[in-house]
Amino acid sequence: MDKSFMVYIAIGIGFMYLITRYVGDIQAEDDKYSNNAHAEEMKYAQYNAVDSIGQDILDVTGVDATTQFKAWNKSTLKEEFLEIFPNFSEMQGFVKDRIRGKILQDKLTHKLTDIEDKFFSGGMTAEEAKRELGDIK
């Protein structure tokens, strides 16, 4: 065999040793120092589901109110819901069809009705209405 080929094999073996030796250490450090925001996001991702017709839904049935609101605020459905604004009837349908959880549904429906009344009476601008809809607690 050629000496340069043997050198390439030796370098390859050394490289493989370094990778297998230190990658595990790097991953352990990464897990230790990972931010809590990612862990919290993954905590609420368990409530995302798909219904029988293939739509993404938020299913928070049977959990406490605080968890329902936090899951809603972390959900991608919230952005989709806000994109529908100012079509309030479609927003009402969105809440009924794509959100499971009595407390959250009731809160969103009540807030939506209240904001709709204020918006169409001129007591609230579109920006204020959207901000209020985005802030469900």
32 pLDDT higher than 60: no
| Higher per-residue confidence, 131 vs 45 | 131
Query: Residue 100: what are its φ and ψ, rounded to 5°?
Result: -110, 125
pLDDT digits (tens, 9 = 90+) for 65-86: 888 888 888 888 888 888 888 8
8 A C-beta contact, residue 61 and residue 71: no
User: Can you give the pTM of this predicted structure?
Assistant: 0.64
Per the CB < 8 A criterion, the answer to whether 111 and 55 are in contact is no
Structure tokens given for 67:
């968890």
Distance between CA atoms of residues 122 and 18, nearest Å: 67
Percent of the chain with pLDDT over 70: 85
List Cβ neighbours of 40 (8 Å cut-off, separation of 6 or more): 74
